[in-house]
Amino acid sequence: MPIHSTGYRPWNETRVAPSRRWLAITTTGVQRAWKSLWLKRLLLAALFPLVFFSIPIFFFEQSGRDPQSWTMFERAMRGMTRGTPMASILDGVPSDPTPEQFQTVRHSVWSFLLLTMLRNTQAFLMVILVGIVAPPLISQDLRTRAYLIYFSRPIDRWEYILGKFGVVAFFLLLISTGPALLLYLVGLLLSPSLSVFWMTWDLPLRILVASACLIIPTTLGALAISSMTLESRYAAFSWFAIWLMGHVAYSSLTAIPTFQAQSRREVYQPGWELLTSPYQILGAVQSYVFGFQQSNQWVWPAILLLLAITVGSLILLFRRVAAPMRA
């Protein structure tokens, strides 16, 4: 009779690649965040701008076939762009544009509408969304010392950070990139022919780049704040305080020059002041990505600042997450 060993036998099957383990952290983080009713409301609210901005696209495409509609659209567009650096979009376009002139202006109009949606509504929703999702992601693990359990598993710091990054990035994609790409799709469907795609093919790419400019620094910044405290509410407070203080600083610095410029019927181009507000920094870079503010000399400092925030946040995150492991 053979004698069988009933002792311990290690598991020798294959496991998923280490490069995919961060996905487990992201998936679980998304599922946990999804339980928030406020988050669901916010995601629903993020779809309204899509409907709102579809209306001007509809009228724009309609005006290509109807000169009267063009006049109405032009008036509405000039109202929307008044006082902004984009006020000159329709300059040089006659009141009865030829199909060629109309095709030329389509790219600018769509870019403007996509940028306006990303900047005005989605960026505002982004601040609230990140303020709900990001603060507990790392601070909770530090408070409950869950990192002891995390790092007793074969995962590295970068996988942990990437996993947490993925949670916030997923929701930001849903509220910014998703609606922007859908708006582009709506534009294509409302246009007279799908061949319009060949004239606007770069816009989806610009949406992706502009989204990356929004998602990467903000998410890493929010995670870095979360890693600096054991209390999620302090992290949330700091997050909102940064945006609010930036907005107050920028508004205070530009209020008088803007008023003076308006009294001269001119558009005030902010200079270094835009670097005081995270919202303005993101706005300047996203405008640049969509082909506006090309001559603004403060765009490159804004890009560099976003890069600095990204790198600084990453360094801080690695240090904070590794703090218990540092010799």
Partner 1 sequence: MLLSLEQVTRLYGIVIGVNDVTLTLPEGAHGILGPNGAGKSTLLNLITGQLRPSKGKLTVLGHSPRDPALLRRLGYLPGSEGMYADVSAIEWVTYLTQLQGFRASDARQRACRAMERVQLADVQDRKISTFSRGMRQRTRLAQAIAHEPELLILDEAFSGLDPIARHTMTTLLQQWIAEGRSLLIASHVLHEIESLTRSFLLISGGRLLASGSTEEISRLLTSVPATVELTLNEPRKLAAQLVASGLIDSVRVEADRLHATTGSGRELAQFLAEQSVNGALEIFEVRSSDDSLQDVFHSLMKLHRGIA
Name the one range near partner 1 by CB under 8 A: 12-20, 46-54, 60-68, 232-240. Answer: 12-20
Name the one range near partner 1 by CB under 8 A: 18-26, 43-51, 280-288, 296-304. Answer: 18-26
At its nearest, how many Å lie between partner 1 and the CB of residue 218?
Answer: 24
Residue selected from 2, 7, 92, 94 as contacting partner 1 according to rule CB under 8 A: 7
Neighbours of 232 (CB within 10 A): 17
> What is the residue-wise DSSP string for 71-126?
HHHHHHHHHHHTTSTTTTTTTT--SS--HHHHHHHHHHHHHHHHHHIIIIIIHHHH
Pairwise CA distance, residues 179 & 54, whole Å: 11
At its nearest, how many Å lie between partner 1 and the CB of residue 324?
Answer: 6
Of 58 and 318, the one with the shorter C-beta distance to partner 1 is: 318
Q: What single letter denotes the amino acid at residue 103?
A: Q
Pairwise CA distance, residues 230 & 147, whole Å: 12
Tokens representing residue 221 in the block: 């910044």
Angle at alpha carbon of residue 157, lines to 152 and 163, rounded to 5°? 100
For residue 19, the Cα-to-chain-centroid distance in whole angstroms is: 25
Q: Under the criterion CB under 8 A, does residue 232 sit at the interface with partner 1?
A: no
Q: Under the criterion CB under 8 A, does residue 25 sit at the interface with partner 1?
A: yes
> How many Cα atoms occupy the beta-carbon half-sphere of 311 within 13 Å?
6
At its nearest, how many Å lie between partner 1 and the CB of residue 125?
Answer: 24
At its nearest, how many Å lie between partner 1 and the CB of residue 9?
Answer: 9
Residue selected from 51, 55, 72, 146 as contacting partner 1 according to rule CB under 8 A: 146
Question: At which residue do the structure tokens 């409301």 appear?
Answer: 41
Which residues within the stretch 295-324 sit at the binding site for partner 1 (CB under 8 A)? 324
Q: Under the criterion CB under 8 A, does residue 10 sit at the interface with partner 1?
A: yes
Number of residues that bind partner 1 (CB under 8 A): 33
Residue selected from 154, 194, 201, 294 as contacting partner 1 according to rule CB under 8 A: 154
Q: What single letter denotes the amino acid at residue 105?
A: V
Q: Under the criterion CB under 8 A, does residue 4 sit at the interface with partner 1?
A: no
